[in-house]
Structure 1
Amino acid sequence: MSSEAARDLAGAPRDDVPVPAAVRRLAAGTVPRPVWRNEIGGLTYELPGRAYVKWSPTVDLAVEAERLTWAGRFTAVPRVLEQGADEDGSWLVTAALPGRNAIEHPPAHAVHAVGAGLRALHEALPAAECPFSWEVADRLVHLHDPDEPGRLRVEHGVTPAEARRILADPPDGERVVCHGDACAPNTIVDEHGWTGHVDLGALGTGDRWADLAVATWSTVWNFGPGWEAPLLDAYGIAPDPDRTRYYRLLWDLT
């Protein structure tokens, strides 16, 4: 969900979506319920029996399966049940976590859970042992041209030349294992608070503000203005406008 299109298109399917052959096979005669569709054609279905299957025509979901298996040693993430691929795409079957997507809860409860859950994730995952990276240098390899029409959104308040200059000078920060897509929908929440995290395909070491910048930004997309400060309060950290600006710009351009 790293672009304007992502915020417009990622979400619960609003119309009928075709069920990939692999998902039909995994459903074993039951009816899979589509629950999410992302901006690059990926689909998530709920299978009867409290399991979910992600399917993607473009992304190798073995990458996420590997990260889930590692992270599951330390914190609450979905347990991998099956992973595979064929000529049409890749799939990942996981056990369900208790609770529901954060955006299905009232904003005050959801935002507190997202902030507290992200702090717990950062504290639980040992950065020194993490075999995966989400560092700035790795992400800049995939930098899009900010001069590309429509790529650099007006809300960043910078020119393409300024964007390149900012991104060439990353801020210092404390290394943690980042979620990699800490948008509100990727925290699972029940009536008591956060219960786990999903969608960890980009998990890896990085500056904690790489997650916080996106988590706070997503409160605007999902709940409207006014929820960024409560999320930071729940996490237990003061605002950092410079790091927030840097990592939001990096998010959009990579």
Structure 2
Amino acid sequence: MNITPINSVEYETFPTEIRRYLIDAGVTIIKNNSRSSVYHIKGPVHDYFLKVTSKDQMNCEAIMTNFLYNFGICPKVVHYVSNDTNDFFVTERLTGSDAASDEYLEQPGHLSEVFAESLLSLHRVQPVNCPITNGLEEMVIRAERKYREGGVEKGLLRYLGYSNIKVAYEDMISLFKNSTEDRVVIHGDYCLPNLILQDFKMTGYIDVGYGGIGDRHYDIFWGLWSLQFNLRSDDYSKQFVKAYGKHLIDQDRLRLCGLLSAFNGFRGQDYYEK
């Protein structure tokens, strides 16, 4: 465990209102890469997570986390602030550990069912007053622009069975023209690390910044992708589909959401395999 001293030079650049949460606290670096850093801040009277990104990256995450907190399925928002270069987002820690932890990966069959049931539970949240829309039309507009700019995530295209980018794009447009959206509240980044479990029971979701009102198949696609990525096997997709409800899943719309993801980069981020 990497416990970083409180007098770290890095923390001196944090806004004053964020640094006050670090006083007398143990700080564990959970993640630190070019897109974001995550810290666990355990103080005498608080247990928080701090996420730091480039400026203007987490406004939607703060909004959706707060919205879903009202349903008891996201952590409480403690503080959200920006300075000239960064966003800082503090939330309470949910009880449990993420679904990609070894204790859950060791029981992949059970995990795939809980993973699906937890997604279905989210999709049953009433979308009334949901403050953000992240639907198929919005995704297609972005995907068309990214295609013209030459953006495509080749790993996702291979996962979908495509070798020709132009054919994949044409299929995406055709599928969209013939689709009807099944609008629910989506997570937007539904993968095992973003589901928190305790003894295989869902305690909540994190990283909901790409969520909002959208098509359920977007989350289903990423859920299936996460299972094969984290478990290194496609053997559990049928259990996931059965637990979620096979009758709720349209294969054409599932493929559409996969293609949208490929052209939009991972979860709508400008990240593409070179």
Q: TM-score, normalised by structure 1?
A: 0.83
Work out whether 1:65 is the aligned partner of 2:62: yes
Residues 79 and 160 (structure 1), Cα distance of their counterparts in 2 relative to 1, 3 Å cut: same
* Equivalent in 229, 243, 248 of residue 238 of structure 2: 229
Q: Residue 75 of structure 1 contacts residue 121 of structure 1 at CA under 8 Å; is this kept in 2?
A: no
Q: Deviations over 1:104-161 (max 9, x none)?
A: 023334322221111111112x224323111112122322227838743433333222
Q: Distance in 1 between matches of 2:152 and 2:131?
A: 35
Q: Could you tell me which amino acid in structure 2 is paired with residue 245 of structure 1?
A: R
Per residue, is there more helix in 1 or in 2?
Answer: 2
Structure 2's unaligned 5+ residue stretches are 3-7, 265-274
Q: Which amino acid aligns with 2:109?
A: A
SS at match of 1:63: helix
Instruction: Say if 1:213 and 1:247, in contact at 8 Å, map to a contact too.
Output: yes
Letter in 2 for 1:236: G
Instruction: Indicate how the Cα distance of structure 1 residues 232 and 18 shifts in structure 2: closer, same or farther if over 3 A, else same.
Output: farther
Residue in structure 1 matching 2:36, options 39, 42, 51: 42
Decide whether aligned partners of structure 1 residues 235 and 75 sit closer, same or farther in structure 2, where only a CA change above 3 A counts.
Answer: farther
Contact 2:32/2:38, CA 8 A, preserved across alignment: yes
Please state if 1:164 is matched with 2:169. Answer: yes
Distance 1:78 1:149 in 2: 34
Provide the rounded CA distance (Å) in 2 between the counterparts of 1:248 and 1:184: 17
Residue 35 of structure 2 aligns with an amino acid whose one-letter code is G
The CA RMSD over aligned residues, in Å, is 2.6
The amino acid that maps onto 1:250 is L
Structure 2 counterpart SS, 1:145: helix
Is the CA contact 1:176–1:207 (under 8 Å) kept in the aligned structure 2? yes
Counterpart CA distance in 2 for 1:73 and 1:151 is 35
Which residue among 98, 103, 107 is the counterpart of 2:100? Answer: 103
Give the Cα separation in 2 of the matches to 1:151 and 1:220: 17
How far did 1:70 drift? 1.4
Identity level (%): 23
Tell me: CA distance 1:164–1:46, structure 2 relative to 1, closer, same or farther (3 Å): same
Q: Deviations over 1:162-213 (max 9, x none)?
A: 2222222323242111111111111101114211111010111111111101
Indicate the structure (1 or 2) with the bigger Cα radius of gyration.
2
